[in-house]
Every structure is written in C-alpha cells, then in structure tokens.
Amino acid sequence: MWRIDVTMFLKSKIKKILLISFFFMLFIEVCSASDSLNGKALLCSSPSYFGVIFKNGKTINYQIIGYEIKISRPYFYHLKGASKIEMRHVTGRYELLNRETLKWGNSHCSLSSREEIKKILGAIIKKAKSKNKF
C-alpha cells in the first residue's frame, strides 16, 4: 500500500512538472514570436527629426535637445491587430503607428537603423552649430 502511494505521489508530481514546463515553453514561444520588431528602427520627422529603436519589447526614443542627442528610457509598445502599433511618441502621448504607411500621429517615419539615426541627428546638430549665431 505504501508503494502505491509513493508511485501515485510521484506520478502527480511528474504531471505537475510537465504541465508547468509546457506552459513555460509556450510563454517563451509567444514572447519571442511577438517580438519580431526587436532590433528594428524608425527615423521620423514632425517637423524635427527623431529616432525610435525597438528593443526587447520596448521602444527607445532618440531626439535632439539643444546640441545633444537625448535617449529616453524604454517604454512598452503594444501591437494593435496586424497593421498598427501603439507606442509612446516623443511628445509623451501614446500614438498609433500605421505599419503600412509608417505614419505615426503627425509624424512621418522611414525604416532606419540605430547607426543611421545617430549619424543623421548628429549631422543636424553639426549644421545647427555652424548656422546658429547664439
């Protein structure tokens, strides 16, 4: 009788472990599938230029403040159907990005990279420094 109890106990523990493992693997698969934007970037204008990097399920904004490129803290974004992404705009509001037209609120965006964003924003700062008298 004691042997049957141990066997039943072990079977129930194994079932729990397998069930937990299954849901954990399912969760990891869903998270990695939903992060297909990871590593992508957008260069946007409205009327000033700024960049957005997608990294680990969040966005990071790059924008010019004075003569410096300021990098925001990461903010979560949310997929809305297959053609829209809700994310935090440099204005501080959450806006919908249309994935087909790359229009984001009042901004127009184009595909880019982090290196290109830094290069373009740096060139804008350099040009402003040479033109500004004060």
Residue 127 pLDDT exceeds 70? yes
Residue 65 pLDDT exceeds 70? yes
Please, which pLDDT band fits residue 9 given cuts at 50, 70 and 90?
A: low
In this structure, are residues 83 and 98 in contact, taking their beta carbons and an 8 Å threshold? yes
> What is the helix (H) or strand (E) element at residue 42, kind and residue range?
strand 41-45
Q: What is the structure's pLDDT at 74?
A: 96
> What is the helix (H) or strand (E) element at residue 116, kind and residue range?
helix 114-131
CA atoms within 13 A on the CB side of 132: 9
- pLDDT higher at 16 or 23: 16
Provide the percentage of residues in the chain whose pLDDT is more than 90.
Answer: 66
Q: What is the CA radius of gyration of the chain?
A: 23
89-107 residue pLDDT tens: 988 899 999 999 999 999 9
The rounded mean pLDDT for the chain is 85
Residue 69: which of 97, 49, 91 has the closest Cα? 49
Please, which pLDDT band fits residue 35 given cuts at 50, 70 and 90?
A: low
Paired residues of 82 in beta bridges: none
Q: How far is CA 114 from CA 30, 35, 54, 79, 111, in A?
A: 26, 17, 10, 21, 10
Spatial separation of the C-alpha atoms in residues 133 and 18, rounded to whole Å:
69
